[in-house]
Amino acid sequence: MGHFWVADLNTRGELRSNVEYGYDELERIPGASSLIAQFSSSLWRDPSEFETNLGAGHLKFRWFASADSAGIATLRNEGHLACLSLLVSGINGDSDQLTLQAFQQHLLRELHDTGVEPSFSLLELKQRPIIATINFEQPINLELDQLLAALADRCFAASYFRYQHLA
């Protein structure tokens, strides 16, 4: 099995970390195998769009494919956006770039006239396949929800890139 990259960015779009993950390494983390199985099942049912509850149901994970090989995932905690992830596979460079540019444009609009300068780190990420995650808010209620929120993007990336025959 191959590897994929996980880039963590802050809400300004600044790169905090960019780490290579292996599917086998991820599966060794407690709880990851169950999440990978849940996401894989959801992807096989509908690779273009789905929504699924995680854990006790406080967390909702939603996937929307912006192309055959790229898309956007969101994780909501009790209705509030916890994180947004952009997945680009490297299969179609144009689709990858359009997906990343769409979020960059959103970031520019959101930060316009706020005195905060957005970063363009997202557009500089060249590794493929990659998931770029922007964290907004972490669950504070349950320890299980915190673990699921921390693992969800990585486990979905493992499922998605495996579905794409890349990981």
Q: What one-character-per-residue DSSP string does 5-35 give? A: EEEEE-TT--EEEEEEEEHHHHHTSTTHHHH
Distance CA 132, CA 86 (A): 5
Give the number of domains in the chain: 1
Give the distance between the most distant pair of CA atoms in the chain: 46
Residue 90 structural domain:
3-163
What does the alpha-carbon distance between residue 18 and residue 35 come to, in Å, rounded to a whole number?
A: 22
Instruction: Dihedral sign for Cα 52, 64, 22, 9, please.
Output: negative
Query: Which pLDDT value is given to residue 129?
Result: 97
The H or E element spanning position 66 is strand 59-67
Taking only the tens of pLDDT, the chain with its 167 residues reads 579 999 999 888 889 999 999 988 999 999 999 999 999 999 999 999 999 999 888 899 999 999 999 999 999 999 999 999 999 999 999 999 999 998 888 777 776 677 777 778 888 899 999 999 998 888 777 788 889 999 999 999 999 999 999 97
